[in-house]
Structure 1
Amino acid sequence: MLKKILIANRGEIACRIMRTARRLGVATVAVYSDADREALHVATADEAVHIGPSPSTESYLRIDRVIAAARATGAEAIHPGYGFLAENADFADACKAAGLVFIGPSGASMRQLGGKAAAKAVARAAGVPVVPGYDGADQTPALLRREADRIGYPVMIKAVAGGGGRGMRLVESGEQFAAALESAQREALSSFGDAAVLIEKVVQQPRHVEVQVFGDRHGNVVHIFERDCSLQRRNQKVIEEAPAPGMSAALREKMCGAAVSLARAVGYEGAGTVEFLVEDGSLGPEAPWYFIEMNTRLQVEHPVTEAITGLDLVEWQLRVASGEPLPLEQGAITMHGHAIEVRLCAEDPAQGFLPSIGRIAAFALPDSAEDVRLETAVRAGDVISPFYDSMIAKLITHGATRDEAADAMVAVLKQLVVAGPRVNAAFLRALLEHADVRVGRMDTGLIGRDLAALTRTHIGNSEVMSAVARLLAPAEGAASDPWSAGDGFQLGAPRTLTVPLVVNGEARTFAATWPRGETTPHVVAAGAAAAGSEARAPTACVTAHDGLYALFEGEQVEVRWPTYDADDVDNGHAGDAVRAPINGKVARIFVKAGDTVAKGDRLAVVEAMKMEHVLAAARDGVVASVAASEGQQVNQGALLVSLEEEAQS
């Protein structure tokens, strides 16, 4: 067994690898950027090495710095986790050249199966059906456009290197192609250091099913059944489960057999996932299915496979990398029950899944969740930065049946406490309660079709008033005498205050009235009549230094005392100011001062948490000024472009 390994990654996967390594007596080395100095994965490791500034291109994607850290600490091997360098064949080769074990497939195997284009060639040679498309080396925009026209719209542009939905764009028509290609290539280059793309025909109503495979250096290859990853938004997986609901025995045999054949064809070593699309949503024996790609690494969703098999796939990785044969033969691998994983992300689904950053005021599972597996690398007090992926945790439930696992997850999501940055807990719960999802009738387009219903907020006046009332109530243990009360008591007058507050970023004014003998006020919006129904009580309240977070089954109301800053004033031209929606990097500026723009025209792109946010003109007008430049790091709310009325001729 290896004695010391370096984990070339961050976040929950780094912590998860360290947990297994510690159990096996393997020492661990973490690497970290400026943004991650205080991160949990740094504190969890036996040693930690700083490798650069916060942007991943200057730290986690620097092969030279990662290898130097391994050599300096005496690590024998490098585990790449997932993302960053995990599917970079040059990194695997560089490890070998440095005398280090790469915990994963060889660079040669990775080039054959890790690249989407090369993997399709292997699949075709093995007689595995592939999705029609173009995966050639010529990447000139004109040729790619011609190929898309030939294939027929809609088409999907996909980054050749990497996965996770990065560098993927759906193109409905030829008119959209150029802008979608440019955006996909830019995101692919930022995420994987490679702008190459391929083009595929869009399969109608597809189920996304993947097969876990494992190989060793002794020629053994097995599959560890399948997972269903059909619930996706923006081509990124949201909820995964194992086994795939409704999977027929015949189709499982075909897909798993094809996955093993592909891995065996290239002498594959380590963990990998072979991904397929099944057309028309059914997993029956005769359903049309296509190979799309192979992820030559451990997957984010590997815990559901572990839950149904009782295996530790990271342990398998370490044993295989140490030269041992696979721990089990195919016939000894069995599955039991059903498992579901949700990806808890710092984002606001109601605002187009806009990433949310800031300090975490509270983070805790409910007391009833003792059987829920939590994979995370954040704690209360940590800061969510704009530099990395928005996923902050994974929750995994396992039950004898799918309904049992789903019910357990819904119960956890209702009571989960995450205060500060907004998270997608309520969205995940709505998805698990969706009528079609409950019966396993899913495809990758489900979220897009029902997005409005799935992201509908249940926060109304009742919840806001409830949150405000709790902010204005005295803290527990505060003095109860009238001289200490903060209720504006006046002799002979009603105990009423007019209070200016900021609710979810919006300035509002409330009237708070304290009935005699009560400490919690009755609250209404200033100038409004008293509410006729009782306010809904929050599932949790978290006090911050300047306000309060009230949680209502996964949705958050943030109430703060107002602050006044002259820089926040737009001088009466708020509608003309195009501001950064989040801390991030200005990836593109499309206009210059004096340009005439129409409503909906692209003005700028801000990149944060590996996602691009396109900012468009809210009206027709003329660009008065451009206040930012490409490559510049900006804070949320920073002015990027200002508009003025078009001059009348």
Structure 2
Amino acid sequence: MAHTLGSYTKNPLIHRDRRLGTSTSKWVASFSCEDLKPLIVCRGPIRKEAMDVYAEMGITHFGILLSEKDSIVYPNALAPELRTLTDSRRVHRVPDYTGASKEERVERIHQIISIAIDNGYDSIFAGYGFMAEDDEFVAAIEKAGLKFIGPCSATQSGAGKKDEAKRTALSVNVSVTPGIDNVTARTLVKKHPTREKLLALATSDGLKCDPAVLGDTKLSLEELADHILYASYERGVDLFSIEELCAQVQAECEAMFKKYPNSRVRLKAIGGGGGKGQRLLGAGLLHAKNADEALIKKEASEAPGLVREILNEVKANGIGDNKNVLVELNIEQTRHNEIQLLGNGQWCIALGGRDCSLQMHEQKLLEVSVTQEGLMTEIERARAAGKDAEVKALESDLKVLKRMEEESERFGKAVGLDSASTFECIVDRDRHYFMEVNTRIQVEHRVTELCYVLKFVNPDDANDFFVVESLVEAMALLARHKERLPRPERIVRFNASVEARLNATDASLSPHAGGMIRYWSKPIDGEIRDDQGISMVNPDTGLFVKYRVAGAYDSNIALLLTKGEDRRDSYERMSDVIQSAVIRGTDLATNLEFHYGLVNWFLGRNVMAKPTTRFVVPYLTLVGLLKDTANKIDPVYAFLQMKKHYTKLIGDAYADQPEVAAKEVKNMSTLLDRKGTLITRPIERLLNDPHLLSGWLSMNIKNFRLEENGKVVWLRNPVGVLAETYDYLHMNFRPHKPAAEMIWNHDNELLQQALRFSRTIREHFGLARDEYHTLTGILANEEPQGGFDAAMWQQIRSAHFGYEAGLELLGILFQVGFHTKFWDLKVEEDLEITIPEYLTDADLQARMKKVLVPPPATKADEIVAVCGGMYYGQEAPGMPPFVTEGMHFEKGQPLYIIEVMKMFNKVYAPFSGTIDKIIMTSGDGTIVSKGQPLFKVTPDEVFVEVDTAALEKEKRTVTSKYLQAVLYEPVAAAPPAAKKAKPAAESLGAAAV
């Protein structure tokens, strides 16, 4: 649900009515947009946001498109915005939003324009959908006499296409990534290598070229070829085949590999966005000691297949489509930073940056603000703490940010930017390279809105102004009053903000479509949730309305945002938001737990760390290793073995007093049984979810140390750690929660008693929380300490022992971290992140992905769909099938493609074998479900049945090994070892319980 952000601001200036027409100032009122009549042609959270903003601006005549996929094809995926938009005359139905082919896209453009004209709309808003940066669409809108609420067609053409944008950047001295932006022109020159042949081609094909360009002998062959190609796009003809283009890309890749040894190459469609139309090749060269000619040719030979995938994915493989592909050096240690821009064609203003490096498969996951004010705050804090390396790193970031902002404004002016756009860069330490411009509003635009607002001041009166806090509102203002709007001032709202994308993905971040959301908890204070209105209840019943997460669109379910005085503050609030979120459903999987673990990883290390775009996959691999190890631990078995350990300790302590020993053993057993669920429930929860365990291990890194013999030594009282663990897992006591989701009453009573006791005794001795080791040293004394008499001292020691007994079991979690080398993935003093080399191993990454999400159950003679989605048995239309009946396939060979959430995922054979029968006979474009049989096969090797008894034996062996490293001999603090003490359990009962 979209929110008016005024209530979240610390600046009293920014709390106002969006309806400028109601202002008493004639100048302000003149910027009213109440007469604007927009048609919203996008979907998702941005559609709901636009509806809310327009209503708040006083715009009453607006409508939306509704596709069949939103209302018919996928039951229960009906646009939830319709619960508030009850006037059916403002809802206009189309088969889909963009069309599946070039012909359908053109048809849809005409249909949308007709809908707008026939229903009295004067403008069109396309949000951050792909139509938003389609220059042909925008040009058609302008030609029809309508306004486009976004950059004009000239800006779209000059900045929206990646090749044109790169050329513009070079012309205005903007740093760009090394590479080639005209491979189609080179392909054409390769086929027609002289000026005469190119001119003859233009004539023979009847292309409408500019005679002045054709006659300009100063133009290079490639520049001439480019002009002829653009004429061919207008005519709708191809001047070369896809095979010829693929061959040229392969040759360019070979040249790039030779020029930049041990580097990969990135292929990018000039259109696309959101990660679509991009592929990497050259992985075998990254660490190759001898990148010889044969290896280079082998790696480059992958290019043709990748080019076809790219063109297919962005639907640019039709006759007459612009098939240009950028061939760029892949900057390996790169951060993805972007600058928010706004302009009116004459002025352009940068609104700070966003770091979007935390991404996977080119899909952004967590985005954080990067502003000059925020960085300066962090620099002063680091300087005050004496962190010189951190200060230097942050100062470098500040310099890069200032350069990017300056270059982005220069670029914006060069292309006549007249709305909102985003200037995207890759940052490599103290250098940056321009990557592309998204000529539309971004999914993560609210990250900027939470940091800055815009103050528009009357040029004739400095006291006459209005404030805009929404980029959607600013775009509407620009569409209605473009040239009249003066260049605004940017005003700080908050120093930091962060956005987490809640996606329909499983624990390995693979797409998981088709689930049904049946319940979603309400947003907590300070949470900004953009979810398309999914969590909006039924206005008549007040009940949640179930919602199907369809695979027709991208994987995003919602955008969760928080803000703060600094980045840590915003991260802590995000942790609270995710911790409190409860979302339930059928066959539903989200990345909520991933985000919780990731946010707390940074909170436990350093929120100012500089992750690169390579961070998430190694991190996910490490989380998989946690799961792989956690699967071998049985916490209940560990607890029972710990009871035996205490029984032996007490038996040894009272070896010469059998009756006392028997009684004390019984009492200790009773005591530990009382604590059994208190201790084991959170441990089981953490072992079952490695994402939660990752965050917990990071947050508790300072609460223990390991001795050389591997023994765990607690630096914080484990009672406090246990209480914080219940809070971290959102299992702390709250009367309204079901018992299954929170600490049980009797466990909570015992925990609160333990907390009160430990806090009281710690404060009595004037110790801080992290001086637990000092406290245990004091309690080790048999002689009374702290002014207590002998009897009370022994009761205190007994109570301490009783409350602490068994909590060392939490140390098993530290052992999991130790044995997986969890803390080797770390943030250095200069904020760079060290990624251990073993986490970059592709085979390990693939294995851990299967550990996080085991493949669907299958028979030994079947291959089943790895996930739900749309099935394709060939690379592209007209290409041969991947496999045929009777064909032998090798491990790692492509078998089929699954399209899910707008991404094409090629699936490779998990083993070698022979295709006996193709069960999937329905053909390409068929929807399949996870686990659905596709092929009957005969594997080359016989599968071995899993020996469950051996697995259970291994589990107990590993559990016992880890347990030995956490158990301690409580002789010093335990009264049973000092014969004069009262039995521990009796003392605990008398003194504490």
TM-score strictly above 0.5: yes
- Which of 585-594 and 235-244 deviates more? 585-594
Which residue of the partner structure matches residue 184 of structure 1? Answer: 310
Where do residues 56-75 of structure 1 align in structure 2 (5 Å cutoff)?
A: 57=100, 62-75=108-121
1:358–1:196 CA distance, 2 compared to 1 (3 A)? farther
Q: Does 1:39 align with 2:90?
A: no
Q: Is the 8 A contact 2:150 2:420 kept in 1?
A: yes
What is the percentage of aligned positions where both structures have the same residue?
27
Where do residues 297-336 of structure 1 align in structure 2 (5 Å cutoff)?
A: 297-310=440-453, 311-325=469-483, 329-334=487-492, 336=494
Cα offset for 1:437? Answer: 5.7
1:241–1:256 CA distance, 2 compared to 1 (3 A)? same
Deviation per CA, 1:200-237: give whole Å up to 9, x if none: 101131121111111114x1221111111111111121
Deviation per CA, 1:331-390: give whole Å up to 9, x if none: 44445310001111011132x523232210112245xx2111111112440111110000
1:425–1:457 CA distance, 2 compared to 1 (3 A)? farther
Which residue of the partner structure matches residue 425 of structure 2? Answer: 276
Unaligned 5+ residue runs, structure 1? 281-286, 467-529, 541-547, 554-568
**What secondary structure does 2:562 align onto?**
strand
Distance across 2 between alignment mates of 1:354 and 1:321: 37
Give the strand-richer structure, 1 or 2: 1
Which residue of the partner structure matches residue 338 of structure 2? Answer: 210
Deviation per CA, 1:514-533: give whole Å up to 9, x if none: xxxxxxxxxxxxxxxx9994
Q: Does 1:28 align with 2:62?
A: yes
1:80–1:551 CA distance, 2 compared to 1 (3 A)? farther
Cα offset for 1:403? Answer: 0.4
Cα offset for 1:577? Answer: 2.7
Amino acid across the alignment from 1:323: H
Equivalent residue for 2:574, pick from 409, 425, 431: 409
Q: Is the 8 A contact 1:277 1:290 kept in 2?
A: yes
Cα offset for 1:455? Answer: 5.8
Distance across 1 between alignment mates of 2:624 and 2:98: 31
Q: Does 1:605 align with 2:868?
A: no
- Which of 611-620 and 407-416 deviates more? 611-620
Amino acid across the alignment from 2:256: I
Amino acid across the alignment from 1:254: R
Equivalent residue for 1:370, pick from 525, 531, 541: 525
Which residue of the partner structure matches residue 550 of structure 2? Answer: 385
Q: Is the 8 A contact 1:87 1:295 kept in 2?
A: yes
Cα offset for 1:21? Answer: 0.5
Distance across 2 between alignment mates of 1:148 and 1:622: 34
Cα offset for 1:186? Answer: 1.8
Q: Is the 8 A contact 2:38 2:121 kept in 1?
A: yes
Equivalent residue for 1:400, pick from 565, 569, 592: 565
Which residue of the partner structure matches residue 104 of structure 1? Answer: 150
Q: How many aligned positions are there?
A: 553
Which residue of the partner structure matches residue 360 of structure 2? Answer: 233
1:253–1:53 CA distance, 2 compared to 1 (3 A)? closer
**What secondary structure does 1:224 align onto?**
strand
Which residue of the partner structure matches residue 867 of structure 2? Answer: 581
Deviation per CA, 1:130-167: give whole Å up to 9, x if none: 10111115160011111112122401111211311111
1:531–1:107 CA distance, 2 compared to 1 (3 A)? same
1:94–1:159 CA distance, 2 compared to 1 (3 A)? same
Q: Does 1:113 align with 2:159?
A: yes
Which residue of the partner structure matches residue 766 of structure 2? Answer: none
Which residue of the partner structure matches residue 369 of structure 2? Answer: 242
Which residue of the partner structure matches residue 264 of structure 1? Answer: 413
Q: Is the 8 A contact 1:11 1:41 kept in 2?
A: no
**What secondary structure does 2:473 align onto?**
helix
**What secondary structure does 1:355 align onto?**
coil
Q: Is the 8 A contact 1:583 1:633 kept in 2?
A: yes
- Which of 232-241 and 584-593 deviates more? 584-593
Cα offset for 1:122? Answer: 0.4
Amino acid across the alignment from 1:161: G
Cα offset for 1:635? Answer: 3.5
Which residue of the partner structure matches residue 192 of structure 2? Answer: none
Q: Does 1:125 align with 2:174?
A: no
Deviation per CA, 1:164-215: give whole Å up to 9, x if none: 1111112123243333333222212289986542111011311211111111
- TM-score calculated relative to the size of structure 1: 0.78
Distance across 2 between alignment mates of 1:127 and 1:419: 52
Cα offset for 1:323? Answer: 2.1
Cα offset for 1:63? Answer: 1.7
Where do residues 455-534 of structure 1 align in structure 2 (5 Å cutoff)?
A: 533-534=680-681
Q: Is the 8 A contact 2:67 2:97 kept in 1?
A: yes
1:433–1:321 CA distance, 2 compared to 1 (3 A)? same
- TM-score calculated relative to the size of structure 2: 0.52
Q: Is the 8 A contact 2:264 2:329 kept in 1?
A: yes
Equivalent residue for 1:167, pick from 263, 277, 283: 277
Equivalent residue for 2:910, pick from 608, 618, 621: 618
Question: Aligned-residue CA RMSD in angstroms?
Answer: 3.5
1:3–1:364 CA distance, 2 compared to 1 (3 A)? same
Q: Does 1:141 align with 2:246?
A: yes
Which residue of the partner structure matches residue 543 of structure 1? Answer: none
Q: Is the 8 A contact 1:339 1:402 kept in 2?
A: yes
Distance across 2 between alignment mates of 1:90 and 1:195: 16
Which residue of the partner structure matches residue 674 of structure 2? Answer: none
Q: Which has the larger radius of gyration?
A: 2
Amino acid across the alignment from 1:30: I
Which residue of the partner structure matches residue 471 of structure 1? Answer: none
Amino acid across the alignment from 1:185: L
Amino acid across the alignment from 1:579: A
Which residue of the partner structure matches residue 638 of structure 1? Answer: 932
Equivalent residue for 2:617, pick from 448, 457, 460: 448
Amino acid across the alignment from 2:57: L
Q: Is the 8 A contact 2:98 2:131 kept in 1?
A: no
Q: Is the 8 A contact 1:35 1:54 kept in 2?
A: no
Q: Is the 8 A contact 2:505 2:512 kept in 1?
A: yes
Equivalent residue for 1:220, pick from 344, 347, 359: 347
1:194–1:632 CA distance, 2 compared to 1 (3 A)? farther
- Which of 59-68 and 418-427 deviates more? 59-68
Deviation per CA, 1:524-570: give whole Å up to 9, x if none: xxxxxx99944659859xxxxxxx998899xxxxxxxxxxxxxxx99
Unaligned 5+ residue runs, structure 2? 1-32, 72-77, 188-244, 258-262, 283-298, 376-393, 454-468, 536-544, 637-676, 686-725, 732-737, 744-855, 875-880, 943-993
- Which of 313-322 and 254-263 deviates more? 254-263
Distance across 2 between alignment mates of 1:208 and 1:423: 24
Cα offset for 1:71? Answer: 2.3
Distance across 1 between alignment mates of 2:274 and 2:896: 24
Cα offset for 1:54? Answer: 8.8
